[in-house]
């Protein structure tokens, strides 16, 4: 299909004003926040309904086109990057909250609704949507589902998968599926709703979602704690977990803290520097919770698990402490870091982290490496910063080679090479470290069943 005919076909589906081919739009909508792959889409389209999405998929099947679903483009694995002349399908116009049901504790919305809007809608109902992360102000709920987004409160509430009550999806064959339908109980065979969750737009384009809500939690208090070694943080978590209801348990290194403080002119949490820090958010249902947390802190200091700490005295102080952790990713973006998003069982975290530290010292000399993540659920983010003056291709090649040894360690621990960022383009060549050959073939079979012509997000997860 030649370019003029292609554009004419797209315009017939979404309208004259909602097809873009200018360079700025192609560059902007053609990638996510992973800067390791150059975008090269042919066009960007903006459907406003499930029917228009279906018509785009049917056109793609008829004309052998490739489509890349696009939400808020906050992903970190290249899963929303169009590198092969694909058509980017942006969900920006499908941004309506369709309805909410306090009795069912659900919100029904189109895929392009911003995550923070779901938070606000839930709050207006006296309820709570618990999936939260630094990009919640720009990410789309459809993208959250497609990537099974995690965030900072997984330790208490789990991943996005736990909160999906229903989905509307257009498969790669152009079929419209209504999955889940908001039911709490439905044992009628395979749960395709969960299959779509985390599929990264390779099986279907999510056009709508019904999300479950939780009871509003009590006020939260935040503590930032300093420790001499990362392996000391798990016993700290155990102490606090026995004393209070822990919503989040994060960690970050001194090097990461320095980057955030310098970039945003923030204050240190306390004067005593420490090699590693933990951020704990816990539910403050009554004054006894604060007393219990302080007792846990004092015990940890007495047992040499912690060297210092601070606790928020107001919501604004809690927000300021959270910035020390949540601003890390955005702070590092200009250095185009090579990200390793790894996980092991929580009980294996101390031994794994010790191995990671030794591996970094042995293999990453000459590179600046920053660690942070969700240690409470076994998730470590390891960021290698591109040295000034090193070309992007040379940097990618070096990091990919070094990462093989790290993935071998993950495999020995029975862990995951991608805990929450997905596979996309970045991790597809390393998927065999976490999935068996038989699992990968089953996944390919599923892909063929939902997308027989291979029009949806080709080249992502596997070729």
pLDDT of residue 223: 98
CB 110 within 8 A of CB 94: yes
Pick the closest to residue 223 from 297, 173, 162 (CA basis): 297
Q: Which fold has domain 3-92?
A: 3.30.43
Determine the Cα–Cα distance for residues 129 and 163; give it in Å rounded to an integer.
8
Joined tokens for residue 329: 């990713």
Determine the Cα–Cα distance for residues 463 and 376; give it in Å rounded to an integer.
34
Q: Hey, where are the domains in the chain? A: 3-92, 97-215, 219-329, 336-421
Pick the closest to residue 381 from 253, 277, 190 (CA basis): 253
DSSP string covering 246-286, please? EEEEEEEEHHHHHHHHHHHTPPPSSSS--SEEEEEEEEESS
pLDDT of residue 1: 65
Joined tokens for residue 110: 């189109």
pLDDT of residue 261: 95
Burial of 267 (0-12, 13-18, 19+ CB in 10 A): exposed
Q: Is CATH 3.30.70.2740 the right assignment for the domain spanning 336-421?
A: yes
Determine the Cα–Cα distance for residues 100 and 121; give it in Å rounded to an integer.
8
Our measurement of the distance from residue 338's CA atom to the centroid of its chain's CA atoms, rounded to an integer in Å, reads: 16
Domains 219-329 and 336-421 share a fold: yes
Name the DSSP letter for residue 462. -
Joined tokens for residue 43: 């066009």
pLDDT of residue 362: 83
pLDDT of residue 201: 98
pLDDT tens for the chain, 463 residues: list them: 688 899 999 999 999 999 999 999 999 999 999 888 999 999 999 999 999 999 999 999 999 999 999 999 999 899 999 999 999 999 999 999 999 999 999 999 999 999 999 999 999 999 999 999 989 999 999 999 999 999 899 999 999 999 999 999 999 999 999 999 999 999 999 999 999 999 999 999 999 999 999 999 989 999 999 999 988 998 999 999 999 999 999 999 999 999 999 999 999 999 989 999 999 999 998 889 999 999 999 999 999 999 999 999 999 999 999 999 999 988 988 888 888 899 999 888 878 878 887 887 787 777 888 889 998 899 999 888 888 888 888 888 888 888 888 999 999 999 999 999 999 999 999 999 999 999 999 999 999 999 999 999 999 999 8
Q: Is CATH 2.60.40.420 the right assignment for the domain spanning 97-215?
A: no
CB 255 within 8 A of CB 275: no
Name the DSSP letter for residue 342. E
- Cβ burial 13-47 (10 Å sphere, 16+ → b, else e): bbeeebbbeeeebbeebbbbbbbbbebebbbbbbb
Characterize the bridge pairing of strands 87-90 and 43-45: parallel
Q: Is the dihedral of CA 193, 198, 201, 202 positive or negative?
A: negative
pLDDT of residue 231: 84
Determine the Cα–Cα distance for residues 358 and 352; give it in Å rounded to an integer.
10
Name the DSSP letter for residue 72. S
pLDDT of residue 225: 98
Count H helices and E strands in the chain, helices first. Answer: 15, 18
Q: What is the CATH code for 219-329?
A: 3.30.70.2190
pTM of the model: 0.92
């Amino acid at each position: 299909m030649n370019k003029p005919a292609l554009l004419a076909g797209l315009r017939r589906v979404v309208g004259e004003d909602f097809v873009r081919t200018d360079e700025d739009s192609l560059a902007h909508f053609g990638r996510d926040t992973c800067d390791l792959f150059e975008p090269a889409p042919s066009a960007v389209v903006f459907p406003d309904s499930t029917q228009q999405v279906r018509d785009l998929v049917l056109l793609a099947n008829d004309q052998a086109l490739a489509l890349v679903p696009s939400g808020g483009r906050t992903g970190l694995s290249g899963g929303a990057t169009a590198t092969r002349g694909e058509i980017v399908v942006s969900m920006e116009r499908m941004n309506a909250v369709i309805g909410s049901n306090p009795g069912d504790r659900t919100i029904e919305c189109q895929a392009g609704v911003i995550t923070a809007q779901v938070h606000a809608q839930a709050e207006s109902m006296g309820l709570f949507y618990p999936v939260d992360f630094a990009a919640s102000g720009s990410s789309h709920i459809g993208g959250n589902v497609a990537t099974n987004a995690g965030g900072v409160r997984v330790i208490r509430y789990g991943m996005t998968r736990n909160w999906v009550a229903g989905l509307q999806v257009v498969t790669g064959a152009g079929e419209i599926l209504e999955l889940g339908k908001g039911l709490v109980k439905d044992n009628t065979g395979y749960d395709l709703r969960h299959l779509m969750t985390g599929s990264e737009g390779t099986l279907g384009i999510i056009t709508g979602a019904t999300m479950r809500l939780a009871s509003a939690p009590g006020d939260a208090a935040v503590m930032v704690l300093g420790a001499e070694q990362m392996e000391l943080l798990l016993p700290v978590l155990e102490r606090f977990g026995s004393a209070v209801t822990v919503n989040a348990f994060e960690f970050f290194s001194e090097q990461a803290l320095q980057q955030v403080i310098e970039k945003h002119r923030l204050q240190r949490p306390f004067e005593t520097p420490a090699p590693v820090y933990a951020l704990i958010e816990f539910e403050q249902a009554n004054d006894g919770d604060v007393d219990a947390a302080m007792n846990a802190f004092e015990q940890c200091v007495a047992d040499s698990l912690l060297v210092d700490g601070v606790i928020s005295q107001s919501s604004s102080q809690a927000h300021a402490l959270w910035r020390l952790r949540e601003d890390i990713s955005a702070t590092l973006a200009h250095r185009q870091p090579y990200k390793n998003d790894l996980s092991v069982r929580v009980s294996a975290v101390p031994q794994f982290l010790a191995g990671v530290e030794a591996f970094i010292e042995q293999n990453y000399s000459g590179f600046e490496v920053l660690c942070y993540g969700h240690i409470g659920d076994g998730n470590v983010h390891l960021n290698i910063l591109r040295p000034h003056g090193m070309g992007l291709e040379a940097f990618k090649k070096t990091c990919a080679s070094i990462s093989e040894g790290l993935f071998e360690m993950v495999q020995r621990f029975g862990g995951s090479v991608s805990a929450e960022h997905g596979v996309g383009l970045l991790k597809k060549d390393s998927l065999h470290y976490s999935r068996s050959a038989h699992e990968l073939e089953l996944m390919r079979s599923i892909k063929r069943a939902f997308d027989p012509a291979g029009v949806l997000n080709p080249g992502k997860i596997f070729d």
